[in-house]
Homo-oligomer: A and B are copies of this chain.
């Protein structure tokens, strides 16, 4: 970063201890155990596959972590231009002594061995958190996750609800729900609601600070009457995936609406991640099959936003084209909040334009700047650092140079979207958290 103003802001932002408001970290195995956990991240497997590496080579059963890394390293050349690759290099430089900007056949084994040793340390996760300047990370918990075996001050539970809204028709979902709640749903809407409420109570009492869901582009939630919902529930529970599609849609809408009611009742923010189509590339690698139709609009959520003025909806959009709507809806709806830069929009040029549009038009208290979406702790650092550099550039160029702000004032705005808003928007609610 050559510019001195932007660089000064970047340095200040880097000193801010982070709370990462959305990850897929497993609190019982938060950090990597081998470099295969790093290189096995879907960003590398899907990009390597896209560039020609056969899926069979990546996903062969029984292959050792070291052999898997060796294979993937041989296919990194075509993706060295990508932002995703730069995260990998950043991790290897920061944590495992890599010099230079390539992980290739000449150096991977050294890095592998260094990383193996470091990762074997009992306090590796703690080390990564500290060296990454991270205080806590939000999790993505299944509704039936056990939440008592980790520290919710570091690993903050979040109730992920995709299965409940979109897959209640599966026997496995029903069984998991009945098993963790000890409530039989039968055909009863009220039993269904009770079991959902059970989950809210369990999660909040164990430190959960958000409810979350990812939604397909054609989802448009609306109030479903009890009668209509009962018919739908009955059909879906009986016929599963063979139920009348209209009933599946109605039931999804009803359950989603009930979740919003429970968020309202319990004061829990409801993260909406809008726009993903699952399984578009059927033969893609694991977690590398989902895409989207960018023709989605927040107008699909107008009734929701009107119906729940007291529920905070931090919203992520998958395609940058939806960012302006997100800015506009956040600009007038008190309960709509901008949230991070998701997945296919999480590369520098999309972040830069989307973040700039938010910073200039959405109240500064209603912007959650970034989350890592990481599966392993090592990724929090390079992803947040990418964002910090972009944020520092926007603050330096637009606010300091164009608008004559002081550096201090620009850093204050950066701190707010990087850290402060995470705490004010997702307050601790439950008993355990307070303890």
Pick from B297, B399, B404: contact of A295, CB below 8 A: B297
For residue A357, CB closer than 8 A to chain B, the reply is yes
A279-322 at interface with B (beta carbon < 8 Å): 280-284, 288-289, 291-295, 297-299, 302, 305-306, 309, 319-322
Instruction: Produce 1/0 per residue, A340-368, CB < 8 A to B.
Output: 00001101111001001101111111100
Pick from B52, B291, B403: contact of A86, CB below 8 A: B403
Report B-chain residues with C-beta under 8 Å of the C-beta of A242.
Answer: none
Cβ B309 vs Cβ A82 within 8 A: no
Distance of A47 from chain B, by nearest CB (Å):
6
Report B-chain residues with C-beta under 8 Å of the C-beta of A349.
Answer: 353, 356-357, 360, 398
Instruction: Produce 1/0 per residue, A254-270, CB < 8 A to B.
Output: 00000000000000000
For residue A215, CB closer than 8 A to chain B, the reply is no
For residue A50, CB closer than 8 A to chain B, the reply is yes
Cβ B361 vs Cβ A83 within 8 A: yes
Pick from B306, B348, B404, B405: contact of A398, CB below 8 A: B348
A52 to B365, CA, bound (A): 9
A134 to B153, CA, bound (A): 58
Pick from B291, B348, B363: contact of A360, CB below 8 A: B348
Segment at the interface with B among A180-188, A226-234, A245-253, A324-332: A324-332
Distance of A376 from chain B, by nearest CB (Å):
20
Report B-chain residues with C-beta under 8 Å of the C-beta of A345.
Answer: 324
Contact A329/B291 with A324-B321, A353-B349, A357-B350 known, Cβ cut-off 8 Å: yes
Cβ B332 vs Cβ A291 within 8 A: yes
A319 to B297, CA, bound (A): 12
For residue A40, CB closer than 8 A to chain B, the reply is no
Report B-chain residues with C-beta under 8 Å of the C-beta of A348.
Answer: 360, 398, 402
Cβ A50 vs Cβ B332 within 8 A: yes
Cβ B324 vs Cβ A361 within 8 A: no
* Count of identical protomers in the assembly: 3
For residue A51, CB closer than 8 A to chain B, the reply is yes
Contact A292/B284 with A330-B50, A353-B349, A365-B51 known, Cβ cut-off 8 Å: no
For residue A67, CB closer than 8 A to chain B, the reply is no
Pick from B49, B101, B359: contact of A81, CB below 8 A: B359
For residue A149, CB closer than 8 A to chain B, the reply is no
Cβ A78 vs Cβ B294 within 8 A: no
For residue A428, CB closer than 8 A to chain B, the reply is no
Closest partner residue, chain B, to A51 (CB atom) = B363
Pick from B329, B360, B399: contact of A347, CB below 8 A: B360
A381-416 at interface with B (beta carbon < 8 Å): 389, 398-399, 401-405, 413
Pick from B81, B282, B321, B353: contact of A294, CB below 8 A: B321
Cβ A320 vs Cβ B309 within 8 A: no
Pick from B1, B294, B309, B402: contact of A297, CB below 8 A: B294
Distance of A99 from chain B, by nearest CB (Å):
13
Report B-chain residues with C-beta under 8 Å of the C-beta of A283.
Answer: 306, 309
Distance of A7 from chain B, by nearest CB (Å):
12
For residue A222, CB closer than 8 A to chain B, the reply is no
A281 to B302, CA, bound (A): 7
Distance of A329 from chain B, by nearest CB (Å):
6
Cβ A80 vs Cβ B364 within 8 A: yes
For residue A237, CB closer than 8 A to chain B, the reply is no
Cβ A47 vs Cβ B331 within 8 A: yes
Cβ A51 vs Cβ B356 within 8 A: no
Pick from B49, B81, B306, B319: contact of A325, CB below 8 A: B319
Cβ B360 vs Cβ A344 within 8 A: no
Closest 8 CB pairs of A and B: A51-B363, A293-B299, A78-B363, A78-B365, A81-B364, A293-B297, A328-B344, A349-B356
Sample (25) of A-B pairs whose CB atoms are under 8 Å apart: A2-B401, A49-B332, A51-B365, A52-B365, A78-B364, A81-B359, A81-B360, A82-B362, A83-B360, A86-B403, A281-B305, A284-B332, A291-B298, A291-B328, A292-B299, A293-B297, A294-B297, A294-B321, A295-B297, A319-B324, A320-B324, A324-B345, A347-B357, A348-B402, A389-B402
